[in-house]
Amino acid sequence: MIKEYSWSVTVDGGPHEILCQVMNNKYVLWVDDKFEKTIYRKSFQLARGGLDETLELWGKTCHFVVWPSEKVEFFVDGRSLNVQEDDENALDTSYEATVYRFRQKMRRCSWGMAVLMTLICICFGVIAWRGVDILRWKEYIAVVLFVLGFSVIGIFRWR
pLDDT in tens, 62-106: 888 887 777 788 888 777 777 655 444 445 566 677 777 777 887
Tens digit of pLDDT for each residue in 126-154?
777 777 666 666 666 667 777 777 777 76
Q: What is the pLDDT of residue 84?
A: 53
User: pLDDT band at residue 20, thresholds of 50, 70 and 90?
Assistant: confident
- What Cα–Cα distance (Å) separates residue 19 from each residue in 68, 74, 121, 148? 20, 10, 50, 42
Residue range 29-45: mean pLDDT, rounded: 78
- Please say if the pLDDT value at position 57 is more than 70: yes
What's the pTM value of the predicted model, to 2 decimals? 0.54
Q: What is the pLDDT of residue 86?
A: 44
Strands 34-40 and 51-57: unpaired
Least confident of 1-5, 14-18, 135-139, 141-145: 135-139
Residue range 38-48: mean pLDDT, rounded: 67
Question: What's the mean per-residue pLDDT of the chain?
Answer: 74
- Please say if the pLDDT value at position 37 is more than 80: yes
Give yes or no for a contact between 140 and 146, defined as CB atoms under 8 angstroms apart: no
- Please say if the pLDDT value at position 58 is more than 70: yes
84/105 Cα distance (integer angstroms): 24
Three-class DSSP labels, 58-119: CCEEEEEEECCCCCEEEEECCEECCCCCCCCCCCCCEHHHHHHHHHHHHHHHHHHHHHHHHH
- Please say if the pLDDT value at position 49 is more than 70: no
Residue range 5-9: mean pLDDT, rounded: 83
